[in-house]
Amino acid sequence: MDEKELIQQVIQHSNHQAFGILVNRYSKMVITTCMGFIGNYHDAEDIAQDVFVELFESLPEFRNESKLSTWLYRIAVNKSLNFLRRKKRETFLQNFTGNKTKDKTGQTIDEIMGKQDADINIELKEQHKQLRHAMSMLPENQRIALVLSTYHELSYKEIAEVMETSVSSVESLLFRAKNNLRQIMVKTKP
């Protein structure tokens, strides 16, 4: 069954089996997108569930003007950014009130992959942590474009569709993001 038929089955008949096929088809892409922003596999899975709940509820509004994957990227990016904003507020409030609870540490991509050489693994984790920190300091649009380009290898045209902007804007965003990222990494290098 092709994508359009699956969507029609979900919309017209609330066919959960058809929706399950869509979830299976796109779950890895959605989780990877969320991981690009969040950096924690368990949180990314939770956000992915929220993405698919929203997809199920709003699928009747889907007009097939773009690909379903483009729509899912947009939902995943928005949910991830909302999660980060909420987490930033919670951290601020905890620090402000003096209630310093320990952060939950979930599995990172490196832990999931199970690197064999401990020294290399520690160094890679540190580099990964520094890169995530530097990426978090980028302006939101630059970060979105960079994640979609780097982690998902989307074309400029696809990124423009997801971000609802022009291809030239995407080129500019990526150019500035890479330059800013280099500057941040140089400044924060130990």
pLDDT class of 88 with cuts at 50, 70, 90: confident
CB atoms within 10 A of CB 28: 10
More confident residue, 5 or 107: 5
Do 123 and 87 fall into the same domain?
no
pLDDT class of 96 with cuts at 50, 70, 90: very low
Do 3 and 86 fall into the same domain?
yes
Has residue 27 got a pLDDT over 90? Answer: yes
pTM: 0.62
| Whole-angstrom distance, CA of residue 187 vs CA of residue 137 | 12
Do 134 and 51 fall into the same domain?
no
| Whole-angstrom distance, CA of residue 80 vs CA of residue 43 | 9
- Domain range enclosing 68: 1-107
* Alpha helices, DSSP H, located in 98-166: 109-113, 118-136, 140-150, 156-163
Report the range of poorest mean pLDDT among 19-23, 91-95, 135-139.
91-95
